[in-house]
Chains A and B, each alone.
Chain A
């Protein structure tokens, strides 16, 4: 039985995609969900798994060709008969077959030094070797090195966008340095919301003269691209938005007990861990509905009240952080929120977030309690007007009806933009969150 392989739709507004690489040749056996080809779209590059097990019968779209979504790009013979007639692959489009680009020295530096003498080229390895490395049946592997991966990480470069010139098509130090020098391959990877990757960004200014910074023994570490974006974003947010802070505490005992009771069953049924986060998201949704000015952005003399409730969730990464956005959080049920949070956290850490997934938040939440923080006073994630900080949930002695009780307590902090939100609103907003948490009455299973 023949199964058509189609060009998938990789995002709301995406209507076409480019096949960048076939990982299988006609006649190759393939398992269901095994990577079959790679595509590139306006927003994201991805590896597309095979829809069926069998033998790849025919490739209809060559590497380098761009086709509309839903176009049949290949046919798989799901019967798996190896004898199935095999059509040859169309010749690859020339664009993709270019030789790896030599590092174009930046014009300003061109005169300073002759280009470093390249390492003498080895007798060209047979081109087939490259194909062999990638099409090894275990999906695409990008061959690089620890050094290359580190430099890619530090400079936010997507290795999939580079062409390797090392042995067997490996991405070498030379290739990654060229990419960094040209600056052109900086991936369209999610940065911090609000700071587009292309934006050059002014140099980060110092608060004191430089000579007061360097003394004694020190080491200078260049900021990674992500670090710089965070720095610029934080400075801009603090400069533009007058921050005010409100602190509230909520009694989490009821939720803690509910969670302890339901945890195992929840995990067994849904194959996803039950954390405190969806409770907080739910409470935020209720409070944001009640106080729309907190779910807003400021634009000069206008306040933009967002009708969608899109919650940005700060996720800490090695050397940085990212804020994926749970869109339309008010339309998701409890399980849906928990799944979205786990999925984002996991993909944020493995750098698999799509650009659109870190944009268009209307309110943000950060969680200093994860690292034991009693409370934190966060900086507003622009273009929001407020951000909620959740402290560590701790058992504390609390006075209830003139008796001292042991309750699970949490400090909640709200940083808000006083241009848009006043203290009265902020405290009512926090009261609403507190009431939603303390009076939790929703089924979670």
Chain B
């Protein structure tokens, strides 16, 4: 069977959900005629028409505001941010309306806001951010960060079928770099469940998005030295799969959290707190973080390389923790 890219998996999810459910509509900048800046919606205008694939002016606030309104009238809009950096433009629409609507007015907002996030592609400070944590702090939202084509498709389907707002952070570095065979039948991947990507007994590495692959590379290196790292793919940051993290820490007794998001206020801090509260007596070492630096994402390639975690830095931290 054909290998499917992460990007194509997303396109398939949109296509299949639109075919399955006529209330699913797409709204965003250049998603119709142009097929999306990264071609995630290519061919969908021709197939579903301009009423269901809506090109908008350049206003993220308008896109999400319109999506919230459409959802009140029974539609299931999937809004695209051309780059997830610009999701902060519609912060008010998401944090004040989408997140609170069900709670305050009993009016669920079944929207998805999706788009490319992350660096490693020399996109500079406005086209490389990982803005997920602004929203992880907001009750009422779900925050999903898939790392594989299979999860990208399965989680996007779950997100579209969810009756509450889901923010879907794709990783643009993975769009055309990771491929795998996908099930031919309709499937979905549940939101809120992490995945065990590699078993080990010396320490646990938890990560998500593009960094998952970097962590798996590091784990491969560590294995040659006799350090067996267990690798968890968080997949969803909100709600966090605490059970899987805690179960793994209870087994390995050490935890390293890796994320591409900047350090301060990153999900690693939250995970460290959960582990300290719930499994303190199982820790045989400090919870350690490997993250990007606390700066905007640099445009300069050497600086960006220094900014992002890489397999060597992850392996080094894991080694020190394993021998702690």
Give the residue name and chain of the B residue nearest to A116 (CB): B201
Q: B interface vs A, CB < 8 Å?
A: 202, 225-227, 253, 280-285, 319-320, 322-324
Q: How far is the CB of A318 from chain B (nearest CB, A)?
A: 12
Q: How far is the CB of A334 from chain B (nearest CB, A)?
A: 41
* CA distance in complex: A147, B253 (Å): 8
Would you mind naming 23 contact pairs between A and B with Cβ atoms under 8 Å apart? A118-B226, A119-B202, A119-B227, A119-B322, A119-B323, A120-B226, A120-B227, A122-B319, A145-B253, A145-B283, A145-B285, A146-B280, A146-B281, A146-B282, A146-B283, A147-B253, A147-B281, A149-B281, A150-B281, A167-B323, A167-B324, A170-B324, A173-B253
Q: How far is the CB of B314 from chain A (nearest CB, A)?
A: 17
Other than A145-B285, A147-B253, give 20 A-B pairs with Cβ distance below 8 A: A117-B226, A119-B226, A119-B322, A119-B323, A122-B319, A122-B323, A145-B283, A146-B281, A146-B283, A147-B283, A148-B284, A149-B281, A150-B281, A150-B282, A166-B323, A166-B324, A167-B320, A167-B323, A172-B324, A173-B284
The 10 A-B pairs with the shortest beta carbon distances in the complex, nearest first, are: A150-B281, A173-B284, A147-B284, A120-B226, A120-B225, A145-B284, A122-B323, A146-B283, A146-B280, A146-B281
Residues of chain B with a CB closer than 8 A to A150's CB: 281-282
Residues of chain A with a CB closer than 8 A to B285's CB: 145
* CA distance in complex: A173, B201 (Å): 12
Instruction: Mark interface residues in A102-120 (1 if CB within 8 Å of B CB, else 0).
Output: 0000000000000001111
* CA distance in complex: A147, B319 (Å): 19
Instruction: Mark interface residues in A137-179 (1 if CB within 8 Å of B CB, else 0).
Output: 0000000011111100000000000000011001011000000
* CA distance in complex: A149, B283 (Å): 10
Contact B281 A172 (CB under 8 A): no
* CA distance in complex: A172, B227 (Å): 15
Q: How far is the CB of A256 from chain B (nearest CB, A)?
A: 41
Give the residue name and chain of the B residue nearest to A176 (CB): B284
Residues of chain B with a CB closer than 8 A to A148's CB: 284
Q: How far is the CB of A341 from chain B (nearest CB, A)?
A: 31
Contact B282 A147 (CB under 8 A): yes
Q: How far is the CB of A401 from chain B (nearest CB, A)?
A: 59
Residues of chain A with a CB closer than 8 A to B324's CB: 166-167, 170, 172
Residues of chain B with a CB closer than 8 A to A149's CB: 281
Q: How far is the CB of A119 from chain B (nearest CB, A)?
A: 6
Q: How far is the CB of A165 from chain B (nearest CB, A)?
A: 10
Q: How far is the CB of A329 from chain B (nearest CB, A)?
A: 38
* CA distance in complex: A167, B323 (Å): 7
Residues of chain B with a CB closer than 8 A to A120's CB: 225-227
* CA distance in complex: A167, B225 (Å): 17
Residues of chain B with a CB closer than 8 A to A119's CB: 202, 226-227, 322-323
* CA distance in complex: A148, B324 (Å): 13
Q: Which of A117, A145, A166, A172 neighbours the largest number of chain B CB atoms within 10 Å of its CB?
A: A145
Q: How far is the CB of B246 from chain A (nearest CB, A)?
A: 14
Q: How far is the CB of A397 from chain B (nearest CB, A)?
A: 48
* CA distance in complex: A117, B285 (Å): 20
* CA distance in complex: A226, B319 (Å): 36
Residues of chain B with a CB closer than 8 A to A118's CB: 226
* CA distance in complex: A118, B283 (Å): 19
* CA distance in complex: A119, B285 (Å): 15
* CA distance in complex: A120, B281 (Å): 25
Residues of chain B with a CB closer than 8 A to A122's CB: 319, 323
Give the residue name and chain of the A residue nearest to B225 (CB): A120
Interface residues of A in 170-192 (CB under 8 A from B): 170, 172-173
Give the residue name and chain of the B residue nearest to A172 (CB): B284
Give the residue name and chain of the A residue nearest to B254 (CB): A173
* CA distance in complex: A8, B299 (Å): 69
Residues of chain A with a CB closer than 8 A to B227's CB: 119-120
* CA distance in complex: A368, B226 (Å): 53
Q: How far is the CB of B97 from chain A (nearest CB, A)?
A: 43
Residues of chain B with a CB closer than 8 A to A146's CB: 280-284
Give the residue name and chain of the A residue nearest to B283 (CB): A146
Q: Which of A122, A149, A170, A173 neighbours the largest number of chain B CB atoms within 10 Å of its CB?
A: A173
Give the residue name and chain of the A residue nearest to B203 (CB): A119
Q: How far is the CB of A202 from chain B (nearest CB, A)?
A: 30
Residues of chain A with a CB closer than 8 A to B281's CB: 146-147, 149-150
Give the residue name and chain of the B residue nearest to A145 (CB): B284
* CA distance in complex: A240, B280 (Å): 42
* CA distance in complex: A148, B282 (Å): 8
Q: How far is the CB of B128 from chain A (nearest CB, A)?
A: 36
Q: How far is the CB of A319 from chain B (nearest CB, A)?
A: 13
* CA distance in complex: A277, B280 (Å): 37
* CA distance in complex: A150, B225 (Å): 29
Residues of chain A with a CB closer than 8 A to B284's CB: 145-148, 172-173
* CA distance in complex: A161, B280 (Å): 24
Residues of chain A with a CB closer than 8 A to B253's CB: 145, 147, 173
Q: How far is the CB of A129 from chain B (nearest CB, A)?
A: 13
* CA distance in complex: A172, B284 (Å): 7
Q: How far is the CB of B68 from chain A (nearest CB, A)?
A: 43
* CA distance in complex: A117, B324 (Å): 17
Residues of chain A with a CB closer than 8 A to B225's CB: 120
Instruction: Mark interface residues in A44-85 (1 if CB within 8 Å of B CB, else 0).
Output: 000000000000000000000000000000000000000000
Give the residue name and chain of the B residue nearest to A165 (CB): B323
Q: How far is the CB of B317 from chain A (nearest CB, A)?
A: 13
Give the residue name and chain of the B residue nearest to A117 (CB): B226
Q: How far is the CB of B235 from chain A (nearest CB, A)?
A: 27
Q: How far is the CB of A147 from chain B (nearest CB, A)?
A: 4
* CA distance in complex: A150, B283 (Å): 10
Give the residue name and chain of the A residue nearest to B250 (CB): A147
Q: How far is the CB of A168 from chain B (nearest CB, A)?
A: 9
Give the residue name and chain of the A residue nearest to B322 (CB): A119
* CA distance in complex: A117, B283 (Å): 21
Residues of chain A with a CB closer than 8 A to B320's CB: 167
Q: How far is the CB of A122 from chain B (nearest CB, A)?
A: 5
Instruction: Mark interface residues in A358-387 (1 if CB within 8 Å of B CB, else 0).
Output: 000000000000000000000000000000
